[in-house]
Amino acid sequence: MTTLRIAAIADVTEAEGPGSRFAVWVQGCSIRCPGCCNPHMFDPSGGTAVEVEELLARLDRVRGRVEGVTLLGGEPFEQAAVLTPFARGARERGLTVAAFTGHRLEDLRADRIPGSGELLAEIDLLVDGAYQAGRPETERRWSGSANQRFHFLTGRISLGVENLHPGEPERTVELRIAPDGALTRSGWPEP
Ligand code: SF4
């Protein structure tokens, strides 16, 4: 299986993990955290179908401008089998892989979600845990709630890169205008 369902792509973003990254929002999430900012990404049959090879070709077009890829959504591990070759392809190109998941690392390591062990083996930074609207994150970049954990699985992404330093803005928000005029927003969903 090489067809992935995706909700969105940002070819070059500085709002979804360390440095400049190629971000893929996958379509489909059965976790359904109350207060999730992406409920339009819940339906696994929504979004758009894309072949892994197409996605890698699109990544190649911006390869010199990004240091890694970020997988988020939606729930990346619900399409683990298809994302694994994409993540592997990114690494073969010398890029790092970051992923945001509502599952916990322990469950992924135990392969409780089919294919999760293989995808995990291709990830350098995993941010895990279901979003908790009552515990908003105030001290770290990129995560939505304070319960979520940063796991540096390989040493290819620097430990502590998520911590905010005095004077640094708490949140990054990016607005993008597509050639057809459509406006998309990423980083922090609501002001
Ligand atoms: S795991 Fe992520 S996408 Fe899924 S409901 Fe929770 S916050 Fe939303």
What's the pLDDT score for residue 182? 76
Residue owning tokens 């683990």:
80
The CATH number of the domain holding residue 120 is: 3.20.20.70
How many distinct structural domains can be found in the chain?
1
Mean pLDDT computed over every residue of the chain: 93
CB distance 29 to ligand 1 below 6 Å: yes
Residue 167: pLDDT over 80: no
What's the pLDDT score for residue 137? 92
The residue type of 138 is T
At 164, the pLDDT band (50, 70, 90 cuts) reads: confident
Can you list the positions of beta strands (E) in 37-111? Answer: 48-51, 68-73, 96-100
Ligand 1 centroid, distance to 46 Cα (angstroms): 15
Residue 141: pLDDT over 90: yes
Q: Which residue lies with its CA nearest to atom 8 of ligand 1?
A: 36
Q: Is residue 91 part of a domain?
A: yes
Three-state secondary-structure class, residue 185: strand
Q: Is residue 115 part of a domain?
A: yes
Atom of ligand 1 nearest to the CA of 102: 1
Contact call for residues 174 and 187 (beta carbons, < 8 A): yes
Q: Is residue 81 part of a domain?
A: yes
Q: Which residue lies with its CA nearest to atom 2 of ligand 1?
A: 102
Parent domain of 48: 3-186
Q: Calculate mean pLDDT across residues 81-95.
A: 98
Q: Is residue 191 part of a domain?
A: no
How many whole angstroms separate alpha carbon 60 and alpha carbon 120? 23
Dihedral (CA of 69, 74, 78, 81) sign:
negative
- Global pTM? 0.92
Q: Is residue 62 part of a domain?
A: yes
CB distance 40 to ligand 1 below 6 Å: no
